[in-house]
Structure formats: structure tokens, C-alpha cells
Amino acid sequence: MPRQSLAFNAGSHNQQLNSILACTQNIRSSCDTVAETNRTIEHYVGDFPRLRTVMDNKRHFGLVSESDVRQARNYVAAEIAPLLRELIVRAEDALSKEERYARTLRTQATQELADLEVRSYPQTKSSVPGTSPFAEDDTFSPTTLEEQQELLEKLQDQRKRLTEKVTQLEQNAQNRSPQSSSMAQ
């Protein structure tokens, strides 16, 4: 094919210009479409960095079927039930030991109170009413009377302490009784 002349050819030059003009308009239209697409995409994905941060910082839970939940609950119950039974038996044993100990202390306190009352009243030789416990034939000196008063005060203090201890043990036993019944359930 012969080489085209570089000289000005108005017909071909006009056709080339129209072709270039059409290409430029198509490129402009494409750029406008791309710009509009970018704006639309930016509108919809502009929140993604924030959402990604939120998703990274929060735990996500998947949905689990009810049968899986039942199966897991049954497995845990099977694992824990023997341990619970053993703990309940131990708690009942400890509670019964504490109750026996409280009964023993209560018995001791009752015995000590009875002994205290026996010691607190001076014994007389005659049990005839109207006779003084400090009759002339009794040999009570002021020192023995003072000793007996000191002994009486000591015994009264001991009685008070024992009564408080019994009350405290009874309260402990009462506090433990609801716990053992709730553990049995």
C-alpha cells in the first residue's frame, strides 16, 4: 500500500478529528461513570474500617442447635453429678460431726451449770428452814467467805462464757442446716 502523504488532507483530517473527539467523549463518560461508581462504593464501604475494628474487638457467637445444647448439658451433668454426690456426702458427714460436737458441748455446759449451782449455794449441816448457813458452830472465817465469793464470781463468769458458746454453736448448726438442704437439691 502506498504511503500516506503527510500533507494536509481535509477529508481525512476531519474524520480523524471526529474520531478523536468521539474517543475523548467516551473516555470522559467512562471517567464520570467510574467517579460515580467510586462515590457509590465509598458511601457503602466507608464504614468498613470502623466495622472491622468493632469485629476485631468483640466476641462473636455462632448459632448452636438445641440438640447440641442438650448434648453438652447432659455431658456436663454426667461429669459433675458424681462429684456433687461426693461433696454432699462430705457436707452431711461434717454437719453430723458438728451436731454431735454441739450436743456434747451442750451436755457439758448443762453439767457445768448444774455443778455451778451446787457450788454456789453453801451447804448447811441442817436443812431446817430458818437456820442460818453461818451458824455459830460452822467454822467460816472471813477469808474462806471471800474465797468462796471469788470462786462464785469465777464460776458465774465461766457459766456466762459457756452459755454464749452454746448459743453460738446452736446458731452455727442452724446456719449450716439450710445450706446442706440446698446442696441436697
* Residue that wins the pLDDT comparison between 85 and 183: 85
Distance, CA of 134 to CA of 148 (rounded, Å): 13
Q: What does the alpha-carbon distance between residue 27 and residue 30 come to, in Å, rounded to a whole number?
A: 5
Q: Which of 110, 104, 119, 123 is nearest to 155 (CA)?
A: 119
What lies within 8 Å, CB to CB, of 88 at 6+ separation is 180, 183, 184
* Residue type at 109 in one-letter notation: A
Average pLDDT over residues 74-82: 91
pTM of the shown model:
0.32
Average pLDDT over residues 45-51: 80
Q: 101 or 174: whose pLDDT is higher?
A: 101
Average pLDDT of the segment spanning 94-110: 88
Query: 181 versus 12: which is more confidently predicted?
Result: 12
Q: What's the pLDDT at 127?
A: 46
Of the listed ranges 35-39, 70-74, 135-139, 179-183, the one predicted with least confidence: 135-139
**What's the angle, vertex CA 103, arms to CA 97 and CA 109, rounded to 5?**
135
Q: What is the CA radius of gyration of the chain?
A: 52
Residue 168 has a pLDDT of 84
User: pLDDT at position 35, please?
Assistant: 95
Domain boundaries, given as residue ranges, for the chain: 12-57, 83-122+141-184
Whether 134 has a pLDDT exceeding 70, the answer reads: no
DSSP assigned state of 123? P
What is the residue-averaged pLDDT of the chain? Answer: 78
Mean pLDDT of 46-57: 79
For the stretch 79-99, pLDDT in tens is: 998 988 998 999 899 988 988
CA distance 74 to 84: 15
Number of Cβ atoms within 10 Å of the Cβ of 91: 15
> pLDDT band at residue 73, thresholds of 50, 70 and 90?
very high
**Cα–Cα distance measured from residue 151 to residue 147, given in angstroms and rounded to the nearest whole number:** 6
Distances (CA, A) of 172 to 87, 148, 168: 19, 36, 6
Give the C-alpha distances (Å, rounded to integers) separating 109 from 61, 102, 118.
Answer: 62, 10, 14
Quote the Cα angle for 102-103-104, to 5°: 90
